[in-house]
């Protein structure tokens, strides 16, 4: 049975198959491990010491087996098994027992960089296999692995030893050690597919990574880390998809089997998928103790970028988190993406080019690098470059075109280009929800020019009313009419808030009744593209707060909104109204604190006008001017008689700008 296991496993893998399956063609050792002493990636598998008569065959048998299995693994080159055995017999003799220095001299004489030395011991009906990896440059031990089990299950034991050796070599990479620590599958097929998916994800080849991770889960449906990475990969292809949410939920369900670090990251990532701020403070506490963890920095950056109003993170604080992740692991592609988006949004061309070059130098997928470079041309290039980029976008079906979505609701001057990007973000492979009307609102185009069939119409109409209609008018008839049918959650929320501002109690009652009938859960029904909680309770509180503000009762509004903001998920609308409430209570600085967490949401023009007023009240003239000018930049092509434009223009003139 033992010899059968050797032969079977040798046939099972072949010379290079394990390399491709485990790494997707990428090297597994970092530059430091491949720079000195011997042929950089050459490995010699030395004869195993054996105990027990039935294990004698394994003295040389393990040399043959592991030499075959490790050939090509992450760029490793194994020294021919026959050459190793011949050299051993010449220098050591027929025995498989030798002092460590003598054994390592055999490997060094074959121009190897690494040596694997091990033992195979039988005790009764049990067998233990041990293997140690040595770096011949300094005779240091890279790692040691051990497996044990029944002697009649030798094939499974050698499978397990192969998996553990793979983990150890992968762990030698600075960008893989933390992520492989929680790999708990016992299926070599699942491990092969997972590591292939991990390599593809690292290269930002998200669609291919999804296929590989699906293979891993087909082999082992209890593989928690594979579900986690699958959810992350779907997050780049279709962030609000059922597939992303289902993978996230399964990862959480299995998280108890993971080490504490992975458990926290899985749960924090899942909370972000569900638009919740759960685990963020725990994540920040963890990073104070473990600032060396790139995945944790990346997760914090994702939270601060995508849900700034829920983690009270104004401005560009997220940039520091992503910067730390890239510094720690410069070979991991997804860490670069949001830094590139930030440089694009800020117009920092030198920094953008520097990041692109750094990313490309790490072996990034050239097709994605082209998407990134074309996006700069699309957003900030010359007219000719913009036309060329648009032609490229028109003929490309790469789902990573949604990289351009990183400019949505960003810099004031980017509003027109964000609107131009909308056709590339509607449905299709990008899977992004419809945002066209919100983008139109951000350029000051009135509701008469909007698409009534777009899902974001109601939310955008509500946002328009909160900015462009200082004197609340009646709720639009098209919004009222749908309340008796099957309204969306956005339509119910928009109707309730606009009716509250207008004092139309009958419409507000109907809208809230429609929301109550939906029995909503926040994680299932995001609003627009940013939503948080969409529960009837939150809508009721927001509508009531809006009514209290119109009626001059900010204290009552504040109490209601505090209740909402104490939850682990809430829509940015509640934060906008809380800022309005603080301003009404005479707390402009506190109002600014809330409003500025909304600068990367559809409420950006609202924030510009409101913070302009607040900064002016505080006597901070330059900041007030910047805010007012921001609104005028975004609405440069809007009707100059619109109230926000008139107010901002007069303020700039008044402040000497």
pLDDT digits (tens, 9 = 90+) for 94-103: 888 899 999 9
Distances (CA, A) of 115 to 20, 45, 65: 22, 6, 15
Q: Which of 175-184, 296-305, 508-517, 590-599 has the lowest mean pLDDT?
A: 175-184
Tokens for 337, please give them. Answer: 């993406």
Q: Residue 107: its pLDDT value, please?
A: 94
Average pLDDT over residues 112-120: 92
Q: Output helix, strand, coil percentages for the chain, rounded to the nearest 5.
A: 65, 5, 30
pLDDT at position 498 is: 92
Q: Name the residue ranges covered by the structural domains of the chain.
A: 2-173, 436-654
State pTM to two decimals. 0.73
Could you count the other beta carbons within 10 Å of the beta carbon of residue 167?
Answer: 19
pLDDT at 63 over 90: no
Confidence label for 208 from pLDDT (cuts 50, 70 and 90): very high
> From CA 402, how far away is CA 390, in angstroms rounded?
13
Name the residue with higher pLDDT: 41 or 116.
116
Distance CA 250, CA 213 (A): 14
What share of the chain in percent tops pLDDT 70? 85
Average pLDDT over residues 528-543: 64
At 421 the pLDDT is 85
Task: Report the distance separating Cα 648 and Cα 637, nearest Å.
Answer: 14
List, as own/partner pairs, every contact residues 207-212 make where C-beta atoms lie below 8 angstroms and the sequence separation is at least 24, other chains included. Answer: 207/237, 207/399, 209/233, 210/234, 210/237, 212/24
Q: Which helix (DSSP H) or strand (DSSP E) does residue 117 occupy?
A: strand 114-123
263 pLDDT higher than 80? yes
Q: What is the arithmetic mean of pLDDT over 262-279?
A: 85
CATH number 1.25.40.10 is the correct assignment for the domain at 436-654? yes
User: How high is the pLDDT of residue 447?
Assistant: 95
Residue, of 185 and 33, whose pLDDT is higher:
185
CA distance 423 to 510: 35
Determine the distance from the C-alpha atom of residue 23 to the mean position of all C-alpha atoms in its chain, rounded to a whole number.
Answer: 21
Looking at the predicted structure, is the pLDDT value of residue 410 above 60?
A: yes
Nearest to 349 by CA among 391, 315, 301, 381: 381
Smallest Cα–Cα separation from 627: which of 342, 468, 412?
412
Q: Which residues lie closer than 8 Å to 420 by C-beta, 6 or more apart?
A: 378, 390
Contacts of 103 (CB under 8 A, 6+ apart): 46, 92, 115, 117
Q: Which two tokens stand for residue 394?
A: 């028109």
| Fold of domain 2-173 | Rossmann fold (3.40.50)
Share of the chain above pLDDT 90, in %: 40
What are the tens digits of pLDDT across the range 541-581? 888 899 899 899 999 999 999 998 988 878 899 999 999 99
Most distant pair of Cα atoms in the chain: their distance: 97
Can you read off the two tokens belonging to residue 100?
């460590």
Strand 42-45 relative to strand 77-78, pairing: parallel
Average pLDDT estimate for 137-162: 84
Residues 6+ apart with CB under 8 A from 466: 497, 501, 576, 606
Sign of CA dihedral 477, 480, 484, 490: positive
**pLDDT score at 9:** 28
Mean pLDDT of 511-515: 83
Report the range out of 72-86, 500-514, 521-535 with the highest average pLDDT: 500-514
List pLDDT tens digits, range 432-490.
Answer: 446 788 999 999 999 999 988 887 899 999 999 999 998 888 899 988 998 888 888 78
**519 band by pLDDT with thresholds 50, 70 and 90:** low
pLDDT score recorded for residue 630:
97
pLDDT one-digit tens code per residue, 319-373: 999 999 998 878 778 889 889 999 998 999 999 999 999 888 877 788 889 999 9
Tokens of 242: 């059922």
More confident position, 242 or 583: 583
Cα distance between residue 596 and residue 311, in whole Å:
12
Q: 292: pLDDT confidence band, cut at 50, 70 and 90?
A: confident
User: Is pLDDT larger for residue 369 or for residue 398?
Assistant: 369
Check residue 532 and give its pLDDT: 45
Higher pLDDT, 215 or 424: 215
Phi, psi of 65 (to 5 degrees): -65, -55
What are 549's two structure tokens? 């503000």
Mean pLDDT for the chain? 82
Cα R_g (the chain), whole angstroms: 30
Higher pLDDT, 632 or 313: 632
Spatial contact of 424 and 430, defined as CB atoms under 8 Å apart: yes
Contacts of 14 by beta carbon, 8 Å cutoff, 6+ apart: 68
């Amino acid at each position: 049975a033992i010899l059968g296991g050797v032969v079977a496993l040798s046939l099972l893998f072949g010379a290079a198959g394990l390399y491709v399956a485990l790494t997707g063609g990428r090297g597994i050792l970092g530059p430091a491990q491949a720079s000195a002493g011997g042929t950089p990636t050459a490995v010699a598998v030395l004869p195993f010491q054996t105990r027990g008569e039935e294990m004698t065959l394994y003295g040389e048998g393990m040399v043959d087996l592991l030499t075959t299995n490790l050939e090509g693994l992450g760029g490793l080159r194994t020294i021919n098994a026959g050459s190793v055995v011949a050299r051993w017999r010449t220098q050591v003799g027929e025995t498989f027992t030798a002092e460590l220095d003598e054994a390592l001299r055999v490997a060094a004489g074959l121009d190897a960089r690494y040596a694997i030395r091990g033992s195979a011991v039988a005790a009764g009906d049990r067998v233990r296999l041990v293997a140690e990896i040595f770096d011949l440059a300094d005779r240091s031990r890279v790692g040691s692995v051990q497996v044990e089990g029944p002697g009649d299950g030798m094939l499974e034991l050698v499978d397990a030893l192969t998996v553990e050796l793979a983990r150890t070599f992968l762990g030698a990479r600075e960008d893989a050690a933390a992520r492989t620590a929680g790999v708990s599958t016992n299926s070599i097929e699942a491990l092969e597919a997972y590591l292939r998916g991990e390599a593809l994800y690292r290269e930002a080849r998200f669609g291919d990574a999804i296929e590989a991770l699906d293979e891993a889960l087909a082999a082992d449906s209890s593989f928690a880390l594979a579900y986690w990475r699958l959810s992350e990969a779907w997050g780049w292809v279709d962030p609000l998809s059922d597939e992303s949410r289902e993978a996230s939920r399964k990862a959480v369900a299995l998280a108890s089997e993971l080490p504490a670090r992975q458990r926290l990251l899985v749960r924090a990532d899942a909370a972000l998928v569900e638009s919740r701020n759960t685990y963020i403070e725990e994540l920040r506490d963890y990073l104070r103790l473990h600032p060396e963890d790139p995945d944790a920095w990346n997760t914090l950056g994702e939270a601060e970028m995508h849900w700034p109003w829920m983690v009270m993170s104004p401005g560009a604080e997220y940039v520091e988190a992503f910067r730390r992740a890239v510094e720690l692991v410069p070979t991991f592609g997804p860490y670069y993406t949001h830094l590139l988006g930030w440089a694009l949004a800020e117009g920092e061309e030198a920094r953008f080019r520097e990041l692109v070059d750094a990313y490309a130098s790490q072996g990034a997928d050239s097709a994605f690098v082209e998407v990134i470079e074309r996006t700069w041309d699309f957003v900030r290039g010359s007219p000719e470059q913009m036309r060329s980029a648009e032609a490229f976008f028109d003929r490309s079906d790469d789902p990573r075109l949604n990289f351009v979505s990183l400019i949505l609701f960003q810099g004031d001057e980017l509003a027109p280009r964000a609107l131009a990007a909308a056709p590339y973000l509607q449905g299709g492979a990008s899977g992004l929800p419809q945002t066209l009307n919100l983008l139109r609102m951000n350029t000051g185009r009135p509701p008469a020019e909007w698409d009534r069939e777009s899902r974001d119409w109601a939310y955008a109409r509500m946002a328009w009313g909160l900015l462009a209609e200082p004197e609340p008018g009646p709720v639009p008839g098209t919004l009222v009419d749908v309340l008796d049918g099957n309204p969306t959650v956005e339509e119910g929320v928009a109707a309730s808030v606009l009716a509250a501002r207008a004092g139309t109690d009958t419409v507000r009652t109907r809208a809230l009744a429609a929301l109550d009938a939906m029995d909503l859960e926040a994680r299932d029904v995001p609003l627009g593209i940013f939503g948080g909680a969409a529960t009837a309770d939150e809508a009721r509180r927001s509508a009531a707060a809006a009514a209290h503000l119109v009626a001059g009762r900010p204290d009552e509004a504040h109490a209601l909104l505090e209740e909402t903001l104490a939850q682990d998920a809430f829509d940015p609308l509640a934060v906008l109204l809380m800022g309005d409430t603080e301003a009404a209570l005479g707390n402009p600085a506190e109002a600014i604190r809330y409003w500025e967490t909304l600068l990367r949401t559809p409420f950006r023009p609202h924030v510009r006008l409101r913070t302009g007023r607040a900064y002016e009240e505080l006597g901070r003239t330059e900041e007030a001017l910047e805010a007012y000018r921001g609104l005028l930049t975004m609405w440069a092509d809007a009707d100059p008689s619109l109230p926000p434009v008139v107010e901002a223009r007069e303020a700039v003139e008044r402040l000497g700008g």
